[in-house]
Amino acid sequence: MSIISYPRVGQTNDRKVFIEFYSNNKRVRLFNGTRINNKLNPNNYPENQRLHQANILAAEVYNYISKGGVLRTFRKQSAMIGKLSDLEYLNMALESKLNGSYSDKYKSTLRYIHRDIVNACKGNVITLEGINSILNKYTSATSYNTLRRHLHALLNAAVSKGMEPRDLLSNKSRKNKAKLNKPFREIRLVLDEIRVFNDKLYLCCLLTYGCLLRPHREIRELRWGDFSSDLSQIHLSGHRNKSGRNRIVPVPAYIRENLVKGEDGRNIFSGELEPYNSDYFKSLWSKYKAQSKVLEEHQTLYSFRHTGAIDIFKRTGSLTKLQKAMGHSSLNVSLTYLRGLEVAELQEEDMPMI
């Protein structure tokens, strides 16, 4: 229950009436009952009746807040006095995330999780049982951990908006068995087959391998204006790549010979102002994979990026160069990345000897 001083009634120089009170040493002035979901507006009455109506409004506001009612901030959804429900804080958290500079996939996942939380809520209260019921739908450790991470982000955002902090994620993340991302042993053989299949997929694979860009967003969204005038470099601003940092990526000669520069604002694949849809290369790869005679198990479109990373590391032996080429945020990320590839960390001479 919130405690406020009893509102006093005042009047402006142009004869508008208002009520005024203090809460937590902050002055609050109201001209109508909108912010407590009350339709009373004293200033809609004739001047000789306004003061009387303002006194009625003062009593309404005092009773409403004293009984635990919520007074929202002006033109916002946050609570100035009192507490919103868990779901109201969750809605505010989702809105904040959706207005942020995150990927469409991330925002889509948050919407999905928000819907699940709403369906699992008892009334307007988010419970541990409800959260666990959402998580326990997943048997895959990868899916479970991904959902748990996104749940954590959304619930933390709700707490930052004012929701009471509680331990709503008591279950620990599940241990996931490491998967080996299989690189290509015969990169030319695979690229030649793809070139015959589809020239746009071929260019995407070349850029994924030779520039180590990520295919489904960074490459798919490339415009001719992202290239230097001689096509020797690609310039990507922070909001266009996963690392969030500005990147300048060299373009090898074997890629440049496949490029014919178009208008700066046009996408290099669609030829239009807008790129193809987010599943474009995923769908193309699935069709190619179904008819390929050279692909091995566990090889994907991202295997070109993995293969390029291995080539750089084997030729240079430099983690720093690999980090810059991959656009990783730290050397530790690059180390973790290499552990998932077929890069031997021990040589024969490192093993025990007799």
Residues 120-130 pLDDT 10s: 887 788 888 88
Query: Is residue 346's pLDDT more than 50?
Result: no
Whether residue 327 has pLDDT greater than 60: yes
Which pLDDT belongs to residue 168? Answer: 76
Buried b / exposed e along 190-206 (16+ C-beta atoms within 10 A): bbebbeeebeebbbbbb
pLDDT greater than 70 at residue 340:
no
Q: Are 248 and 238 in contact (CB under 8 A)?
A: no
Q: For 217-266, write each residue's pLDDT tens digit.
A: 899 999 999 999 999 999 988 677 666 677 888 999 999 999 999 999 99
Beta-sheet strand order (sheet of 26-30):
8-11, 17-23, 26-30
Q: Which of 84, 76, 81 is nearest to 162 (CA)?
A: 84
CATH of the domain spanning 187-339: 1.10.443.10
The pLDDT of 317-336, averaged and rounded, is: 76
φ/ψ of 350, rounded to 5, equals -85, -15
Q: Which band of pLDDT confidence, cut at 50, 70 and 90, is reported for residue 353?
A: low
pLDDT of residue 348: 46
- The whole-number pLDDT of residue 339 equals 63
* Averaged pLDDT, 5-23: 90
Per-residue pLDDT reduced to its tens digit, 291-318: 999 999 889 999 998 888 888 888 887 7
Percentage of residues in the chain having pLDDT higher than 90: 39
Is it the case that residue 287 has pLDDT exceeding 50? yes
Mean pLDDT of the chain: 84
How would residue 350 be classed by pLDDT, with cut points 50, 70 and 90? Answer: very low
**3 state DSSP class of 331:** helix
Percent of the chain with pLDDT over 70: 87
Query: What gap in Å lies between CA 101 and CA 98, rounded to an integer?
Result: 8
Over residues 30-78, the pLDDT tens digits come to: 999 888 888 999 999 999 999 999 999 999 988 888 877 777 776 666 6
């939380």: which residue's tokens?
A: 117
Mean pLDDT across 83-108: 84
Q: Above 90 in pLDDT, residue 25?
A: no
Q: What is the structure's pLDDT at 9?
A: 94
Which of 111-120, 185-194, 326-335, 337-346 is predicted most confidently?
185-194
DSSP-derived 3-state class of residue 74:
coil
Q: Give the pLDDT score at 179.
A: 58
Q: How far apart are CA 29 and CA 27, in angstroms?
A: 7
CB burial string 22-59: b at 16+ within 10 A, e below: ebeeeebebbbbebbebebebbeeeeeebeebbbebbe
Work out the average pLDDT over 278-283: 93
pLDDT, tens digit, for every residue of 176-205? 665 556 888 899 999 999 999 999 999 999
